[in-house]
Amino acid sequence: METSRTISFKNFRLTIKAAPKPDAILVTFDSGTEMDNRGWESASGDRKKIEEDFKFMFNPYDAPSSKKGEYMLHFKLPEKRQKFLDWLDGQKRQYFGIEDDK
């Protein structure tokens, strides 16, 4: 993946960019969190739905930076990368995401 993609949803932003490892990408979820009554930060709204679906379908690794909301996907086969990109386009349509032009 040569460039990064940023998709803005209603209450959060999703960024996809190349990872330092070959055949890997970093996926970052920004914003879209709230504090519960115990003071813990957790995803909310559309971010919660998309992030849970993402984790279930692709079983990502934690990113090397150890930031909360950042994951790394490693694709051993081109079909897996295409499956992720198709899933991402589907989420963008379903949740009315707007891709930022660079």
Helix (H) or strand (E) holding 48: helix 45-58
Higher pLDDT pick, 79 / 101: 79
Beta bridge partner(s), residue 18? 25
Q: Report yes or no: 97 and 7 within 8 Å, Cβ to Cβ.
A: yes
Q: Rounded CA gap, 52 and 80, in Å?
A: 18
Distance (Å, rounded) from C-alpha 29 to C-alpha 95? 15
69-86 tens-digit pLDDT: 899 999 999 999 999 999
pTM above 0.95, yes or no: no
CA distance 93 to 49: 14
CA atoms within 13 A on the CB side of 11: 12
